[in-house]
């Protein structure tokens, strides 16, 4: 392959917009914390309140609330008020999909199960 042909092939690669790159980085940073992963997994199974998440993870309400704030900023979780309680859930099906694919990938590369 000539140098010109190689360069033309490389020129066909359209890189992501810089803002999209930053947003993707922010998304992956949100996944880079063990507590947040545990919260996401719990919410993948069921909609939960802070108290319920706290009980499932055996962690304080304040620690859970702090991590939920980060997950909300990354738009991975959303919430609805139910009386005096706030019920959290994964933001949308994309979050479910990303999480399922990540788990499947890890199980495959590390040969779990």
Specify the pTM.
0.87
**Domain contains 62:** yes
Q: Residue 88: give its domain's CATH number.
A: 1.10.10.10
Average pLDDT over residues 62-85: 96
**Domain contains 23:** yes
Range list of H helices, 1-113: 3-11, 18-30, 34-45, 50-57, 61-73, 93-109
**How confident is the model over 16-51, as pLDDT tens digits?**
999 999 999 999 999 999 999 999 999 999 999 999
Domain count, the chain: 1
**Domain contains 92:** yes
**Domain contains 82:** yes
Domain of 54 in residue numbering reads as 18-109
**Domain contains 69:** yes
Closest CA to 74 of 16, 113, 32: 32
Percent above pLDDT 90 for the chain: 86
> Taking the CB of residue 16, how many other CB atoms lie within 10 A of it?
10
């Amino acid at each position: 392959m000539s140098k010109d042909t190689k360069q033309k092939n490389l020129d066909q690669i359209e890189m992501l917009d810089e803002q999209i790159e930053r947003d993707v980085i922010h998304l992956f940073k949100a996944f880079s914390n063990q507590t947040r992963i545990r919260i996401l997994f719990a919410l993948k199974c069921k909609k939960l309140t802070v108290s319920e998440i706290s009980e499932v993870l055996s962690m304080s309400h304040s620690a859970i609330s702090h991590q939920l704030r980060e997950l909300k900023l990354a738009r991975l979780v959303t919430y609805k008020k139910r009386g005096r309680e706030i019920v959290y859930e994964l933001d949308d099906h994309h979050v479910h999909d990303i999480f399922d694919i990540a788990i499947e990938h890890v199980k495959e590369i590390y040969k779990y199960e």
